Amino acid sequence: MKHHLTKFATLIGLTLMLILQACNLSTPGGETPVPIPTATTTQVQETQGLCANPLFPVKLGATWTYSGTGSTAGDYSFTDTITDVREDGFTLTSQFDDLTRTQEWACKPEGLAALTFGGGAAGGIFANGIQMDLNTSNVQGVNLPKTVNAGDQWPYSLDFEGDMQLSGTQANAQGTATFTFTAIGQESVTVPAGTFDAMKIHADMVLDMQLSLSGITTPVTFASPTDLWFASGVGWVKATSTGELMGSSFNETIELQSYNIP
């Protein structure tokens, strides 16, 4: 029994870490992003209609490179690229040193909403011998409204269920990720990519889940506050988050290093 409980505790921590990775609140290690092929000239570059958002330029081939410090996984860097744009959504591909994550987004009249944690409708995450496949459903609200003004507040949530494998041990995770976003106001932010007049948005995230392993099921709740800064015409330029994972506190910062928007 003690052996199972030890594995159980480890899987809880890893599950939370991987879910956070896929939510862009915490990311895996890796220092050199691998380039992603740019869009072909036959594809539409400009974004209009539902996907138009001043704080997130949804343009095919747009890229943003970030570096993070203070994570429980160590320092890392990654590149985000918009690899497909549709009338009602787009695909965001994140390339780490040894991991590629694909996230689908919906463009709604009220704003932009992430539909998956990563890897399409049944999100797949692979890192360091860990595999996690998540199905997401019941997406409510948006991550980024069409317009954002200081004092605005909005919700976003989704349900998830999936399997996790670690060294031959499989567990099932299911639950709900709930976010409450609050727009704080405009601030000047300096990161390696430059100095920006950015909208600061505070996010309170709560994960409520059930993790099952070897016939044992336990409830797990994890909360982490995050501050994000979005610059008009540029996108996400900085994020800071705090919390505790597997008994270790973290104070993580992610900053934009460079970007290219066609």
DSSP labels, 75-94: -EEEEEEEEEEETTEEEEEE
CB of 69 closer than 8 Å to CB of 77: no
Nearest to 140 by CA among 119, 121, 155: 155
pLDDT (tens digit per residue) in 11-50: 555 455 555 544 544 333 333 333 333 333 223 334 469 9
Confidence of residue 244 (pLDDT cuts 50, 70, 90): low
* Pairing status of strand 111-114 against strand 100-108: antiparallel
Residue 121 has pLDDT above 50, yes or no: no
pTM for the predicted model, two decimal places: 0.80
Task: Supply the pLDDT for residue 20.
Answer: 52
More confident residue, 123 or 236: 236
Give the pLDDT mean for 234-262. Answer: 85
Task: Supply the pLDDT for residue 167.
Answer: 62
Task: Supply the pLDDT for residue 135.
Answer: 86
Tell me which residue has tokens 């290219």.
260
Residue 103 has pLDDT above 70, yes or no: yes
CB of 183 closer than 8 Å to CB of 213: no
Look over the chain and give the mean of its residue pLDDT values, rounded to a whole number.
Answer: 78
Question: What does the DSSP 8-state code read for residue 231?
Answer: E
Tell me which residue has tokens 């965001």.
92
Length of the chain: 262
Residue 73 has pLDDT above 50, yes or no: yes
Nearest to 132 by CA among 237, 5, 248, 19: 19
Name the 3-class secondary structure at 51.
helix
* 22 torsion bin: left (phi>0), alpha (psi -120 to 50), beta (else): alpha
Confidence of residue 196 (pLDDT cuts 50, 70, 90): very high
Confidence of residue 60 (pLDDT cuts 50, 70, 90): very high
CB of 149 closer than 8 Å to CB of 37: no
Distance CA 116, CA 112 (A): 13
Least confident of 25-34, 134-143, 147-156, 218-227: 25-34
